[in-house]
């Protein structure tokens, strides 16, 4: 299938967005070499706007420019995740704190509505819908915090986290655990206890990292033909 031609308006930005979505969907998985010539032909553009687009993605951490080797989709290591998640926990925890202090009754009703959907998806064991609603919940908390600097940094980090192919909800028991953590977050909001909401959100993010680490360990053990118990 031949990709649609791109208009000249903000050309490099549109190219960057197309590549960004292909990276997020793992159509271009981590470690993939970016064939600039082939992409330029596919999109019907010169290599100049393509290279400008790649610079944008490099600044976001989605691709890595390697001298004399070209451009590659960034690979996220366990060390990267160990460094990113504590930052996310701190930042999203602060969002929960500020959102608790600033939110109105109507705002809380919107959060409660999303939480009710999480309860429903969890009861049905619908991990994909739970994941999508969870993302909406976090975005709303960031919106209610009304701190553009916090939101900007969080969004940049979340772009990088989309590079990982592991999904924490795939771990047995994680769906219920995540729901319980959301109940704790909502408890902070409903009691107007900003510190409680902050801690609950902080712990929720770190718990997701622990789940990803366990999934990674299981993957490594499976590849080696061993169980985690035998590997120990």
Q: What is the pLDDT of residues 83-109, one digit of tens each?
A: 999 999 999 999 999 999 999 999 999
State the pLDDT at residue 84. 95
Looking at the predicted structure, is the pLDDT value of residue 116 above 80? Answer: yes
State the pLDDT at residue 166. 61
pLDDT, tens digit, 9 for 90 and up, residues 19-51:
999 998 889 999 999 999 999 999 999 989 999
User: At 7, is the pLDDT very low, low, confident or very high (cuts 50, 70, 90)?
Assistant: low
Structural domains of the chain sorted by starting position, each given as residue range(s) with its CATH number in brackets: 11-73 (1.10.10.10), 78-231 (1.20.120.530)
| pTM for this prediction | 0.79
Torsion, CA 87, CA 207, CA 93, CA 122, rounded to 10: 130
Count Cα atoms within 13 angstroms, Cβ side, for 41.
5
Report angle CA 187, 193, 194 to the nearest 5 degrees. 110
State the pLDDT at residue 3. 61
Instruction: Assign 5 to helix, strand or coil.
Output: coil
């Amino acid at each position: 299938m031949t990709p649609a031609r791109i208009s000249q308006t903000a050309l490099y930005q549109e190219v960057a967005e197309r590549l960004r979505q292909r990276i997020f969907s793992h159509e271009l998985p981590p470690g993939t070499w970016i064939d600039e010539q082939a992409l330029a032909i596919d999109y019907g553009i010169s290599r100049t706007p393509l290279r400008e687009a790649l610079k944008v993605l490099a600044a976001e951490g989605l691709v890595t420019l390697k001298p004399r080797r070209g451009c590659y989709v960034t690979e996220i290591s366990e060390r990267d995740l160990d460094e990113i998640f504590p930052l996310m926990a701190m930042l999203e925890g602060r969002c929960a704190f500020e959102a608790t202090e600033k939110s109105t009754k109507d705002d809380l009703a919107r959060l409660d509505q999303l939480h009710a959907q999480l309860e429903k998806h969890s009861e049905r064991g619908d991990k994909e819908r739970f994941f999508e609603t969870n993302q909406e919940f976090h975005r709303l908390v960031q919106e209610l915090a009304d701190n553009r600097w916090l939101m900007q940094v969080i969004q940049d980090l979340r772009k990088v986290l989309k590079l990982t192919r592991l999904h924490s909800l795939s771990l047995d028991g994680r769906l219920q655990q995540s729901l319980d953590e959301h109940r704790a977050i909502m408890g902070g909001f409903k009691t107007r206890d900003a510190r409680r909401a902050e801690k609950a959100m902080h712990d929720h993010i770190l718990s997701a990292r622990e789940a990803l680490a366990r999934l990674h360990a299981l993957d490594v053990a499976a590849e080696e033909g061993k169980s985690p118990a035998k590997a120990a």
